[in-house]
Structure 1
Amino acid sequence: MKGEIVIIPDTQYYISVIGVFFFILILAYIVTKLIAKNGAVLIKGKNIKIIEKIPLGIDKSIYLINIGTVYYVIAVGKQSIELIDKVNEDSIKLNIKSTQLEKSNDTFDVYLDKYIEEASINKVSIMNKLKKMRRKNEYYKDKDEKK
């Protein structure tokens, strides 16, 4: 084998191969986490919605499912699905997710008014609490400035 030129890869080649390997490894990890987190989002139905899922173990979960105006609480195991309860829309209170709050155009005042109505707190007591908090803040601010 006389006359052949043997090219030996240098360290830059090895570093780039290792870099590409780690990039693919990190990308696979991120994609796996996204699919695991948002797996239910990929499968959307028009009439059936999974409202909430609570994992109880590796292969056991409880789901709150909405079909029309009726909510179903079901237990899902590795090889079984059981209906726990059937609940009407009026008898449960759903928490609005922060993503839904961000998408809406309502202002903070609208949500504050809803909170006041639900908690049956009058506006005067809220204003008094806010004033008290402000006075405490000013007191400590003045105290810090004296030092």
Structure 2
Amino acid sequence: MSWYLTIKALHIIFMVAWFAGIFYLPRIFVYHAESDSSEVRAQLAIMAKRLLYFITPFAILTLMFGIALIAMQGMDWFRLSIWLHIKMLLVLILYVYHGYCFVLLKRFQNDNNQRTGLYYRIFNEVPVLFLFAIILLAVIKPFYG
């Protein structure tokens, strides 16, 4: 059994689990922003909190296994892998996005949302675009050595 392939599989598994939540969380925000019922908004805030706290460990494990993969490849490989540098920048932006979801959650919990459902519908599409770019970079590996 190859440790590298095991680590890579775990990286992908936790990335998929993280993205599943990152795709659904803004949908909860959409429903919350468009709801006129205080009871529904309260329930959606609970759902959003549980989901965000559930997926955060997946985000952390994705990062840990990604760093392990880079370490296993070595610094010479890392320096030549410009595609990976671009991927890492996109992933960093996704971690900022994830962190911003905590800010949005707090606003919803305090019933202090200032954004429309349309805003959250657009916000919901951001990780999809990043996922496409990240997967394309990881598979095609343009700008390599």
**TM, length-normalised to structure 2:** 0.24
Query: Which structure is higher in RCO with an 8 Å CA cutoff and minimum separation 6?
Result: 2
The TM-score with structure 1 as length reference comes to 0.24
Kindly name which structure, 1 or 2, has the bigger radius of gyration based on alpha carbons: 1
Higher strand share: 1
More helix by share: 2
